[in-house]
Homo-oligomer: A and B are copies of this chain.
Amino acid sequence: MLSKKTKYAFHALTYLGKHKDEGSVLIQDIAAKHGISHKFLENILLELKKAGFLGSKKGKGGGYYLIKEPRDIPLSRIIRLLDGPIALLPCVSLNYYEACEECEDQVRCGLNKVMIQVRDETLNILENKTLADILDKE
């Protein structure tokens, strides 16, 4: 399951996407709207900023805003940023690969093969669906 961090990130991005023509948006507005702790959300927005999705303006009248087009933000990138691997096994992860320590040979591992399939189907969706697709439906 996705962590709350990731879910909150999606809520925030969606909110920012909806208000992208209104300049910058306050953390507090997003937090209040979705009943998220201000401080927790602050950390998340900071991560999204450092990763290049958001820009911000400090000081009075400041706030956050999208600096990428929604269609250029694949869902997979947000999930990986906040939650880490999308794959169900470390030995199948493209971005966070690790060998399974209790496994003697992943080449002959039947589970490995199935999980590669699951990963590919999942990524096929999550790499191609973007923030824009989410915004469309709301």
Contacts and interface: CB of A to CB of B under 8 A. Distances in A.
Interface of A: 1-2, 7-8, 10-11, 14, 34-36, 75, 85, 87-90, 100-103, 108-111, 113-114, 117-118, 121-122, 124-126, 129, 133-138
A133 B34 CA distance: 44
Contacts of A89: 1-2, 7
A102 B35 contact: yes
17 contacts: A1-B87, A7-B111, A10-B111, A34-B102, A34-B103, A35-B102, A36-B102, A75-B111, A108-B138, A110-B134, A110-B135, A114-B125, A114-B126, A114-B133, A114-B134, A118-B125, A121-B124
A54 to B, nearest CB: 18
Contacts of A124: 121
Copies in the complex: 2
A52 to B, nearest CB: 21
A131 to B, nearest CB: 9
B113 A7 contact: no
